[in-house]
């Protein structure tokens, strides 16, 4: 790398980092003001709020980076132009593309760092942020189609599903209804230690109390995590696997595809 490349690289890098820091401070300040409204609710203390802001920092960096990169590159090149340094470089015989090589190196380097942050840092840090702010997925229910079954979950805690209702249709009508206080995902199987199974036929309705029932499932731990989290906080690997699950069950995956390519 020539000294000219090093100089333009250093200039664009410093301005980009400055813009990133400034934008993070601004957004963190507004997040702080927004969280103040919840302070004191359900034992939500100042230390919890500060931990939430801290743990949410990687997601904030990932979200703000494109804007910071654009502003930093423009400001860095503007700084060079204001001191006629770009003119001097062009006068020395360098083309426009060659002049911008240092800024391109900055873009590539920082983009790789931010991709790593988005893949391996944001998902676990976001989970910690939700726990610190008492906004974790506990109590959050969902519906899911799992092969021939339709699953209704009232709440979830530590990947243990609670208040479960499983519907099994047959020939367009409800054939079987399974109700369980909780079930766990183990080796691609739903395990229900206790349950009540109701079977509907043309002539009668029968009920039976069962124990330790297992059901094969297409939902793995990554898909379950995707079900209970917003797409923007998932890694691209989790998004891609969950898109496959949605497509296999003929469900709309457009929201997750948009998050994957964003």
Domain chopping of the chain, boundaries: 3-132, 142-261
Handedness of CA 223, 225, 228, 232 (dihedral sign): negative
Q: What pLDDT sits at residue 138?
A: 54
108 by Cβ neighbours in 10 Å (0-12 / 13-18 / 19+) ranks as exposed
User: C-alpha distances in angstroms, 233 versus 126, 223, 245?
Assistant: 7, 13, 18
- Which pLDDT score, from 0 to 100, does residue 128 have? 87
Identify the pLDDT of residue 203: 87
Per-residue model confidence (pLDDT) at position 1: 56
pLDDT score recorded for residue 169: 92
Q: How many residues does the chain have?
A: 262
pLDDT of residue 42: 74
Q: How does pLDDT run across 47-87, given as a tens digit for each residue?
A: 999 999 999 999 999 999 999 999 999 999 999 899 888 88
Lookup result for tokens 């079900």: 227
Q: What is the DSSP secondary-structure string of 65-129?
A: HHHHHHHHHHHHHHHHHHTTHHHHHHHTT--HHHHTHHHHHHHHHHHHHHHHIIIIIHHHHHHHH
The 10s digit of each residue's pLDDT in 208-234 is: 999 998 888 878 777 777 877 888 888
The reported pLDDT for the residue numbered 24 is 96
Q: What pLDDT score was predicted for residue 187?
A: 81
Instruction: Supply the pLDDT for residue 158.
Output: 66
State the pLDDT at residue 189.
86
pLDDT of residue 148: 85
Mean pLDDT by 10 residues, the chain (262 residues): 84 96 96 89 86 94 95 93 86 81 93 94 88 66 84 81 91 91 86 93 91 85 78 86 84 87 79
Q: Which helix (H) or strand (E) holds 43?
A: none
DSSP H or E stretch at residue 174: strand 173-186
φ, ψ for residue 74 (rounded to 5)? Answer: -65, -45
């Amino acid at each position: 790398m020539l000294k000219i490349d090093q100089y333009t690289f250093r200039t664009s890098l410093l301005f980009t980092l400055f813009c990133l820091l400034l934008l993070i401070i601004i957004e963190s300040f507004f997040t702080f003001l927004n969280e103040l409204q919840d302070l004191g609710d359900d034992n939500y203390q100042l230390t919890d709020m500060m931990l939430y802001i801290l743990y949410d920092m990687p997601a904030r960096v990932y979200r703000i980076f494109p804007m910071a990169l654009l502003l930093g590159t423009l400001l860095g090149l503007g700084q060079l132009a204001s001191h006629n340094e770009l003119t001097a470089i062009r006068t020395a015989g360098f083309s426009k593309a060659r002049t911008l090589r240092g800024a391109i190196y900055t873009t590539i380097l920082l983009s790789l760092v931010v991709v790593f942050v988005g893949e391996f840092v944001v998902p676990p840090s976001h989970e910690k942020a939700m726990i610190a702010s008492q906004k974790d997925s506990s109590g959050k229910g969902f519906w899911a189609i799992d092969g021939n079954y339709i699953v209704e979950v009232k709440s979830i805690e530590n990947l243990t599903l609670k208040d479960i209702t499983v519907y099994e249709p047959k020939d367009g009508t409800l054939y079987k209804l399974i109700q369980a206080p909780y079930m766990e995902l183990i080796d691609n199987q739903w395990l229900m230690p206790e349950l009540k199974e109701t079977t509907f036929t043309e002539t009668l309705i029968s009920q039976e109390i069962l124990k330790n029932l297992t059901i094969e499932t297409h939902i793995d731990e990554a898909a379950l995590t995707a079900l209970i989290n917003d797409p923007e906080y998932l890694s691209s690997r989790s998004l891609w696997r969950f898109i496959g699950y949605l497509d296999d069950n003929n469900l709309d995956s457009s929201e997750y595809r948009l998050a994957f390519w964003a």
